[in-house]
Structure 1
């Protein structure tokens, strides 16, 4: 399955919205959608899939995943949060994303938090994650080849690799969900200290 490396390269998984690509001026919703579509179009599974839609953005705003939008314009901080939501929604529920980002949103609103350094750290981690990911996929492929030795069944080989990748993905997702649960449990109940 030497094609796995080609698949990884073709997926555009290293695409990320850098701080330099986020305009310093506030954007209207259509401009936000265009920015994300242009940046993440390679990550779409097929042509019909949308990276971001008006409905998605409105749902994020209504669900309080983002601090309030002013004059129908989205600030740099909104775009950073939308970028984080875009990445988180692949593994977490909307409620889990809200719980995860709620404290960040609150701090941004009161002016007690600068998102730029946080987002820079996130981007640095994504770069390291990609390096580790590539090595890990190659190791999983090697493990599958050892398990299936002598069978000479390319279909079974692919199915085993798919199952292995999904399993490891589920393990990571479960740890992330437990961390979200800790955030929820640590949140003070309103009216209590």
Structure 2
């Protein structure tokens, strides 16, 4: 591989520093039909795509989320701002967790806070979580940079022509192991949660 080590690290850290999220005030203050939902999500989450032809959310996906109790059903075929916030959460979780795990995770939140006109709302929860995650970006970037530097200390006894590939592999393995461990922790936490009762399903 011909990628310069310093350039690669800088590119990674730059992409992390540009991570952002859809703010509640960016979501239209009116209920949306399905086509409007998919269009908004496509535009709002476009920067998260790996490939330009990737689909963020399709009609089939959204219908399946409602059928699987991840998402409260639309009202007269229209989706509220709270539906949109739930869909954003689902979009990020679906790459890591099973549908069943997301359902278990969402059930108590949806029952207590979805459509809640008094006290804490889904918007409040979304804002709090996103601000917390945003505050962790610098810490996460430093951790990734450390893993990258540590990977450069591996395979130092092999020919230089083989070193770059092996060190890159070591770096990816380190990141993958980190994801694996955290996924295990998340699953164990979800396993401690009560089974969904679907009381929120209309």
How many residues of Structure 1 are paired with residues of Structure 2 in the alignment? 188
Shift in alpha-carbon separation, 1:27–1:110, aligned structure 2, 3 A = closer
Q: Is residue 184 of structure 2 the alignment partner of residue 174 of structure 1?
A: yes
Could you tell me how far apart the structure 2 residues matched to 1:110 and 1:78 are? 10
- In structure 2, list runs of 5 or more residues that go unmatched: none
Q: Is residue 64 of structure 2 the alignment partner of residue 59 of structure 1?
A: yes
Q: RMSD in angstroms over aligned alpha carbons?
A: 2.1
Moved more, 103-112 or 159-168: 103-112
Cross-structure match for 2:89: 84
SS class of match (1:45): coil
Alignment of 1:20-169 (within 5 A): 20-109=25-114, 111=116, 113-149=120-156, 151=158, 152=160, 153-169=163-179
Question: Per-residue deviation at 1:10?
Answer: 4.0
Shift in alpha-carbon separation, 1:133–1:49, aligned structure 2, 3 A = same
Alignment of 1:3-18 (within 5 A): 3-10=8-15, 14-18=19-23
The structure whose RCO (Cα within 8 Å, separation 6+) is larger is 2
Q: TM-score, normalised by structure 2?
A: 0.85
Question: Per-residue deviation at 1:158?
Answer: 0.9
Could you list the structure 1 runs, at least 4 aligned residues long, displaced by more than 2 angstroms after superposition.
7-13, 108-113, 147-152
